[in-house]
Amino acid sequence: MSLLTPLQIQQMLKNRKKNRASLDHAPVAKITVPGLNSTFLLSEIIENNQNIAFGICDAGTGEPFLGYFDLDVISNFKTTWGRAPERDPYFIALYPLRVYFDAAVNCGQLTFVESILAHFDEDLR
């Protein structure tokens, strides 16, 4: 399985053109590294280098962070069991990236619990 589908790449390019490195875009892809407790939520990809994506990384250290990530590096991660990173084909973002990030910083990890995410959505307050 490829890390990103062509439709995800297309949406991430559109997001990038709208507003660079914005927390207002909904994440487009969720990538996990089984066995390493690492998760990436990606919302944008750079047009002239489609190996570089913007989003959140939760490396399992208790300190999720925003940044740019090299998809080639991510795709080459291997666990001790030989498992490769996986795209979650069922992931659908319900909130902008900033909501996931604010909740992650508060919880010390990415969370997908609806009640927690809703708490950090300013539009619902």
pLDDT in tens, 11-43: 999 999 876 656 789 999 999 988 788 999 999
Predicted pLDDT at 14: 92
Instruction: Tell me: pLDDT of 96 over 80.
Output: yes
Predicted pLDDT at 21: 59
22 domain-assigned:
yes
83 domain-assigned:
yes
CB-CB neighbours of 50 under 10 Å: 13
117 domain-assigned:
yes
* Confidence category of residue 93, pLDDT binned at 50, 70, 90: very high
How many domains does one find in the chain?
A: 1
43: helix, strand or coil: strand
95 domain-assigned:
yes
55 domain-assigned:
yes
User: Is the sign of the CA dihedral 80, 73, 3, 118 positive or negative?
Assistant: positive
Instruction: Tell me: pLDDT of 124 over 70.
Output: no
**Is pTM beyond 0.85 here?**
yes
Predicted pLDDT at 122: 74
DSSP state of 26: P
Q: What proportions of the chain, in percent to the nearest 5, are helix, strand and coil?
A: 30, 25, 45
1 domain-assigned:
no
Which residues span the domain enclosing 70?
6-124
* Residues 2-34: b if buried by 16+ CB within 10 A, e if exposed: ebbeeebbebbbebbeeeebebebbbbbbbbbe
